[in-house]
């Protein structure tokens, strides 16, 4: 099977994440996309308001319910260790040797990939799908970066054309903290209900 991996804090998950996963699924003929919330991200800000790992996993679960080719993978949440992508992908490769994995990242992450922990091991374990919003200059820069990473690490990297959704989890958290519901439409409805029910992002 061809499996896409959508990693992230998902704090909270929003429709931009779902749109990107949908594009990866369609464009690369994936069998499934697994959403993998970070359990203990290595570069997490100590001052950022955020839900617990289990709450973030539950928000993802509610967001993807009803889409049969989306799945919650809670390996990093359950492990409790610092979440390094290379270790996660090597674990998945070992657990599912018959699967081909496609690790989905944003364009900004493509340019910092060489500074991640053990990038050579991450790139050996999967194909990287790097989202591109369509800007010509960005695509040119991405192509140069891909060529460099391929030369240095033997990486397998593909550009994933994706629609732009001009909202971030940080903006949504701020909106929720201020009781400003104008960004409600950016969050899957069941996830929004869960956030309101649990009073997440209030007074953090």
- For the chain, domains (ranges, CATH) are 2-166 (3.40.50.620)
Residues 6 or more apart from 139 whose CB is under 8 A from it? 132, 159
Q: Identify the CA nearest to 20 among candidates 99, 114, 142, 107.
A: 107
End-to-end CA distance of the chain: 41
pLDDT at 166: 67
Kindly tell me if the per-residue pLDDT of 49 is higher than 50.
no
Contact 3, 33 (CB under 8 A): yes
**For residue range 173-202, what is the model confidence (pLDDT) as tens digits?**
877 777 666 677 789 999 999 998 998 987
Quick one: pLDDT at residue 181? 66
Q: Report residue 47's pLDDT band, with 50, 70 and 90 as the boundaries.
A: very low
pLDDT (tens digit, 9 = 90+) per residue, 59-85? 999 999 999 999 999 999 998 788 899
Contact (Cβ atoms closer than 8 angstroms) between residue 100 and residue 127: yes
Average pLDDT of the chain is 89
Each residue's pLDDT tens digit, 109-138: 999 999 999 999 999 999 999 999 876 668
What is the arithmetic mean of pLDDT over 5-24? Answer: 94
d(CA 187, CA 168): 11
pLDDT at 52 over 70: yes
pLDDT cut 70: percent of the chain above it: 90
Name the helix (H) or strand (E) containing 197. Answer: helix 189-198
What per-residue confidence (pLDDT) applies to 80?
Answer: 78
pTM for the structure as a whole: 0.91
Higher pLDDT, 93 or 164: 93
């Amino acid at each position: 099977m061809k499996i896409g991996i959508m990693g992230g804090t998902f704090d909270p998950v929003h429709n931009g994440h779902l749109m990107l996963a949908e594009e990866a699924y369609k464009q690369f003929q994936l069998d499934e996309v697994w959403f993998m919330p970070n359990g203990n991200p290595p570069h997490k800000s100590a001052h950022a308001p955020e839900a617990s790992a289990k709450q973030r996993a539950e928000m993802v679960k509610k967001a993807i319910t009803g889409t049969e080719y989306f799945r919650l993978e809670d390996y990093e949440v359950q492990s409790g260790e610092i979440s390094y992508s290379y270790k996660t992908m090597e674990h998945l490769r070992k657990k599912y040797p018959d699967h081909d994995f496609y690790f989905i990242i944003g364009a900004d992450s493509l340019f910092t990939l060489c500074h991640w922990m053990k990038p050579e091991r991450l790139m050996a374990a999967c194909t990287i799908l790097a989202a591109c919003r369509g800007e010509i200059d960005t695509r040119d820069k991405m192509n140069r970066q891909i060529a460099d990473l391929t030369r240095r690490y033997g990486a397998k990297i593909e550009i994933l054309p994706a629609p732009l959704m001009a909202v971030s989890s940080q903006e949504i958290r701020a909106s929720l903290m201020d009781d400003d519901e104008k960004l409600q439409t950016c969050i899957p409805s069941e996830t929004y209900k869960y956030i309101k029910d649990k009073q997440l992002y209030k007074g953090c």
